[in-house]
Amino acid sequence: MYRIDIMTLFDETVGDMMNESILGRAQERDLLRIEAHQIRDYTLNKQKQVDDYPYGGGRGAVMQADPLYQCWRHITDTFGPGHTIFLSPAGKTFTQEEAKRLLNHYDHLILVCGHYEGIDERFIEECVDEELSIGDFVLTGGELPAMVVADAVARMVPGVLPDPECFQEESHYNGMLEYPQYSRPETWHGRTVPPILRSGNHALVARWRRKQSLLRTWRRRPDLYEKLDLTSKEDQKLLTELREEEPDFQG
């Protein structure tokens, strides 16, 4: 069973979010377990204080090393060693490839949510295996990034989604953006579903979707498009068709 433990100051909020919908049902079936741990429960301070002024001066406060350590130690003693990740703006950018790496290389993640001006560097040095960031911006705490990482990894655990195709064809999984999706009714506000999607020909539908993914990736994420291997005969045919059909396409 895949396990994710989240160290946080808002355990009820994080726990509720991670136990809803698809991830909640997966936990009921014992495919994975996501548990939030309240860091304040592991401080020896009667006021449940987990932060203090930073050495060297400056504004704000820093999360102390010992409450973090005691919480981390409880998790590792109870559930075994885990790959510990601190969610930090200074970390490596989290991507779909990183999510796949975490799923394939580890069966237990410990996610540490920082607050205030950060956490004591000594805890990072002693307990953290890597730092991850979900983007070049700063949030008020690490809970949202931790839930992003947990969700991205957990949804790929075998059995969580009904079929691997549920995530294998999505944006970023194979380096491209996902093709456009449509549902009923067939015509809405004068806009009609592309006829090929109503043809019943699965091979033609798959080909159309591949072509649309290529086009969308080229238009919206040229940085991703440049990394694609499009040397196959089928992709070369699709590129030729796109050049003929789309005047602006230069892929």
Q: Given this model, what pLDDT does residue 172 score?
A: 54
Q: Is residue 72 scored above 90 in pLDDT?
A: yes
Q: Are 130 and 181 in contact (CB under 8 A)?
A: no
The residue-averaged pLDDT of 86-99 equals: 95
To the question of whether residue 134 is assigned a binding role by annotation, the answer is yes
> Cα separation of 109 and 103, whole Å?
9
Cβ–Cβ under 8 Å, residues 74 and 67: no
- Does 62 belong to an annotated binding site? no
CATH 1.10.1270.20 residue window(s) in the chain: 169-245
CATH of domain 2-154: 3.40.1280.10
> How many C-beta neighbours within 10 Å does residue 148 have?
17
Q: What is the pLDDT of residues 224-244, one digit of tens each?
A: 999 999 999 999 999 999 999
- pLDDT at residue 60 is higher than 50: yes
State the pLDDT at residue 164.
62
56 has a pLDDT exceeding 60:
yes
Mean pLDDT of 179-200: 94
**251 marked as part of a ligand binding site:** no
Q: What average pLDDT is seen over the chain? A: 93
- The pTM of this model reads 0.86
Task: Please give the share of the chain, as a percent, with pLDDT higher than 90.
Answer: 88
Q: What is the pLDDT of residues 124-177, one digit of tens each?
A: 999 999 999 999 998 999 999 999 999 999 999 999 987 665 445 555 567 899
Asked if residue 157 belongs to a known ligand binding site, the reply is no
Please tell me whether 129 is known to bind a ligand: no
- Residue-level pLDDT at 167: 47
Place of tokens 């075998």: 158
Protein fold of 169-245: Trp Operon Repressor; Chain A (1.10.1270)
Range(s) within the chain of domains with CATH label 3.40.1280.10 = 2-154
